[in-house]
Homo-oligomer: A and B are copies of this chain.
């Protein structure tokens, strides 16, 4: 697989952990730190440390897994560890984990001593295709996802396909939603290829193409002033449903499960507002309902869902903005949707 060139950094696919070791050697860092959670500490770290036998200038920082760790308290914990370990400005942070680790580790590094180098080693499908490029770092405050963060590019990204082998099927499905989204917004050929693939076990070629698509979009618009909003397709409603589920459900929805719901609702809105043909709407709905379990949404939750959408950091003023489709493979940004329209789209999902 080609190395993908992003905004002044590379995304490695082949022998990526060896490339990482090479990167550390060449970087002449005073120290480096590997951030993990207990899952990646168990399943991914041994493979990495087995390659680090020549190094004695690194320390491990482990946090608990799960979105609950993506808070300022955990971030302060990471900062304090860096202080205690004597991290200086020539230190490197290696974020080994899923989106929580890469987002939070990126934020901690980008603000420690006003910014030290960091690299991403995403270990879930979701973080490989979504969090690995684009330079967004972030933490949650008051349960609002990524409300605090920076735009800071990593120095490199290392995608190791072998880490996906140990993932449970539900986590594969979570990342898959973003891959399907990449096809839906800009590449109908990729969408068709995905449709006809073994999606329980996406190939490295498919992962590579998703990273390529996301990279092209974020390079063109790093600060989300225009075309990057394409990536928000499915996310206005998806994020609201995800936040709702995190708060109310014992076994809450994964990001991808929520985004799949969001993509169905927003495809419906696209059909109504931006001319997505009905056969394409049905095709999208068929693929997504086939892959993802049905989630129960009640009319009584609509107010809370709308409130979540209003709090979305992408909005300006009181308007709710959606990225919609005009066709499979073509998007349309900045579509203001009324509360009535949004509720109608939720009802469409409920009645499927």
Q: Which residues of A contact B (CB under 8 A)?
A: 30, 72, 76, 79-80, 83, 88-90, 107, 110-115, 136-138, 141-142, 144, 146-151, 311, 313-317
Are the C-beta atoms of B114 and A30 separated by less than 8 Å? Answer: no
Residues on B with beta carbons closer than 8 Å to the beta carbon of A317 = 30, 88, 90
Are the C-beta atoms of A30 and B138 separated by less than 8 Å? Answer: no
Pick the contact of A90: B79, B88, B316 (CB < 8 A): B316
A250 CB to closest chain B CB, in angstroms? 27
Q: How distant is the Cα of A317 from the Cα of B151 in the complex, in angstroms?
A: 28
Are the C-beta atoms of A138 and B150 separated by less than 8 Å? Answer: no
Are the C-beta atoms of A148 and B112 separated by less than 8 Å? Answer: yes
Residues on B with beta carbons closer than 8 Å to the beta carbon of A83 = 141-142, 144, 147, 311
Residues on B with beta carbons closer than 8 Å to the beta carbon of A313 = 88-89, 113-114
A144 CB to closest chain B CB, in angstroms? 7
Are the C-beta atoms of A80 and B142 separated by less than 8 Å? Answer: yes
Query: Can you give 27 contacting A-B residue pairs, CB < 8 Å?
Result: A30-B316, A30-B317, A72-B76, A76-B141, A79-B148, A83-B142, A83-B144, A83-B147, A88-B313, A88-B315, A88-B316, A89-B314, A107-B111, A110-B150, A111-B111, A111-B149, A111-B150, A112-B148, A113-B147, A113-B148, A113-B149, A113-B313, A114-B137, A114-B138, A114-B151, A114-B313, A115-B151
Q: Which 3 A-B pairs have the closest CB atoms?
A: A113-B313, A114-B149, A90-B316
Q: How distant is the Cα of A352 from the Cα of B314 in the complex, in angstroms?
A: 60
Residues on B with beta carbons closer than 8 Å to the beta carbon of A72 = 72, 76
Are the C-beta atoms of B141 and A79 separated by less than 8 Å? Answer: yes
Q: How distant is the Cα of A113 from the Cα of B30 in the complex, in angstroms?
A: 32
Residues on B with beta carbons closer than 8 Å to the beta carbon of A147 = 79, 83, 112-113
Pick the contact of A114: B80, B144, B150 (CB < 8 A): B150
Residues on B with beta carbons closer than 8 Å to the beta carbon of A76 = 72, 141
Are the C-beta atoms of B148 and A80 separated by less than 8 Å? Answer: no
Residues on B with beta carbons closer than 8 Å to the beta carbon of A89 = 313-314, 316
A53 CB to closest chain B CB, in angstroms? 23
Q: How distant is the Cα of A114 from the Cα of B107 in the complex, in angstroms?
A: 10
Residues on B with beta carbons closer than 8 Å to the beta carbon of A150 = 110-111, 114-115, 150
Query: Nearest CB to that of A72 among chain B residues?
Result: B76
Query: Nearest CB to that of A151 among chain B residues?
Result: B114
Query: Nearest CB to that of A110 among chain B residues?
Result: B150
Q: How distant is the Cα of A146 from the Cα of B30 in the complex, in angstroms?
A: 21
Query: Nearest CB to that of A315 among chain B residues?
Result: B88
Q: How distant is the Cα of A153 from the Cα of B174 in the complex, in angstroms?
A: 38
Q: How distant is the Cα of A115 from the Cα of B225 in the complex, in angstroms?
A: 13
Q: How distant is the Cα of A113 from the Cα of B80 in the complex, in angstroms?
A: 24
A265 CB to closest chain B CB, in angstroms? 23
Q: How distant is the Cα of A136 from the Cα of B114 in the complex, in angstroms?
A: 8
Query: Nearest CB to that of A310 among chain B residues?
Result: B86
Q: How distant is the Cα of A142 from the Cα of B78 in the complex, in angstroms?
A: 13
